[in-house]
Amino acid sequence: RARESSGSSYHFFTADMHDRVVDRLTTEVALFRGLERGEFELHYQPKLDLRTGRVTGVEALLRWNRPGMGLQMPDKFIDILEQTGLIMEAGEWVLREACAAMRHLPLSVAVNVSPRQFLHPHLGARVMRTLEEINFPADRLELEITEQIVVEDEEGAIETLHDLARRGIRVALDDYGTGFSSLQRLKRLPLHTLKIDKYFVMSLVTDKADAAIVHSTIDLCHQLGIQVVAEGVEDDGAMRMLQTFGCDVGQGYGICRPLALPALDAWMAAVPVGPKPA
Ligand code: C2E
Ligand code: MG
Ligand code: MG
Ligand code: MG
C-alpha cells in the first residue's frame, strides 16, 4: 500500500490512451494499404520569380485521400510515414509522380525529403535512377530538406549534399529560422536555396523585428551565393516588401494555393510561365 500511495510508480492505462493507441495502429494499417491502393495525390504550389513576375517552379505537396475520411493534410500522416519507414516508398512515389507530371512544362519541381529518406544511403544515386527512368533533367529538380537532417548526422548530410550538387540536383533548406539555424552550419552546407519560414513572412508587414530578420537573411544568403525563397506570402503588402528587400522567389496563398493538377493547369494558363523569353 505504501507504493500505491507514492502515485508515480503506477501507470494507469486510461480509455483515452487506449483510443489513441488504436487510432494510431488503424492509421498505420490504412497508410500501408493506401500506398498499395494509390490513395495519395499531389497538389502543386507555384513559385513566383519576384523580379520578373513569372512562375518558374512548383512545390509538390502530398495529400492522402483516406477512405471515408476525406482529403488528409500532411500533418495528419507524414510523421507516421516517417516513423514506420513507409516514407521511403511514399517518397519515391512523390518524386516519380511530381517529375512525370511536370516533365512537359518549363518549370523546376521541388519535392520535400524527410530526414529518414535523406539519411538513407545512396540518396543521390537512387534519385538519379528514378529521374533517368522518367527522363527528367536533374537540374530541374530541387529537394527540400530541413535542419533536422543536419542535427542527426552533420558529416553524412554534408557528404550527401556535395554528392547531390555534383549530380546537378539542387537542394533547398526549408522552414529556415524555426530550428537552431546556426550560421556556422549555414556556412558549411552546400545549398542552392534557402526558404524563409512562413511565420516570419506572414508577419512581415506588422512586425518590425520579423522584417529585419527577413531582410538581413536575404542579404546574408546573397553574400553566400544562396538563392532565397519566401514561403507564406499571403498578401500584396508582404510581396512588395520582399521585392524591396531583393528576395528572389515568393510562394504563398497570396500568389496561389496548392492546387491539384487540373486546377494548376487552369491557373497557369493566365500567368507568364517559365524563364523569360530571350
Ligand atoms: P513545407 O514543405 O514547409 O510546405 C509549405 C506548407 O505551407 C504547405 O503545407 C503549404 O500548403 C503551406 N502554405 C503555403 N503557402 C502558405 C501561406 O501563404 N500561408 C500559410 N499559412 N501556409 C502556406 P502542407 O501542404 O500542409 O504541408 C505541410 C508540411 O508537410 C510541408 O511543409 C512538408 O514539411 C510536409 N510535406 C508535404 N508533402 C511532403 C512530402 O511529399 N514528403 C515529405 N517528407 N514531407 C511533405
Ligand atoms: Mg517544402
Ligand atoms: Mg516550409
Ligand atoms: Mg513547414
Q: Find all residues with CB under 8 Å of 250, minimum gap 6, and list them.
A: 47, 48, 50, 229, 230, 233, 239, 242
What is the ipTM for the molecules in this complex?
0.98
Reported pTM: 0.94
pLDDT for position 11: 67
Q: What is the mean pLDDT of residues 240-266?
A: 98
Q: Say how far apart CA 152 and CA 154 lie, in whole Å.
A: 6
Q: What is the mean pLDDT of residues 177-184?
A: 80
pLDDT for position 193: 98
Tell me how far the alpha carbon of residue 197 lies from the centroid of ligand 3, in angstroms.
Answer: 6
In this prediction, residue 1 has a pLDDT band, given cuts at 50, 70 and 90, of very low
Q: Say how far apart CA 7 and CA 9 lie, in whole Å.
A: 6
> Can you read off the three cell numbers belonging to residue 214?
527577413
Q: What is the mean pLDDT of residues 251-267?
A: 97
Helices then strands, each counted (H, E), the chain: 13, 9
Neighbours of ion ligand 3 (CB under 5 A): 174-175, 231
> Can you read off the three cell numbers belonging to residue 105?
512544362
Ligand 1: lining residues by beta carbon, under 6 Å: 45, 61-62, 73-74, 78, 91, 94, 112-114, 144, 174-175, 198, 231-234, 252-253, 258
CB-based contact 272:255 (threshold 8 Å): no
pLDDT tens digits for range 79-138: 999 999 999 999 999 999 999 999 999 999 999 999 999 999 999 999 999 999 999 999
pLDDT at 31 over 70: yes
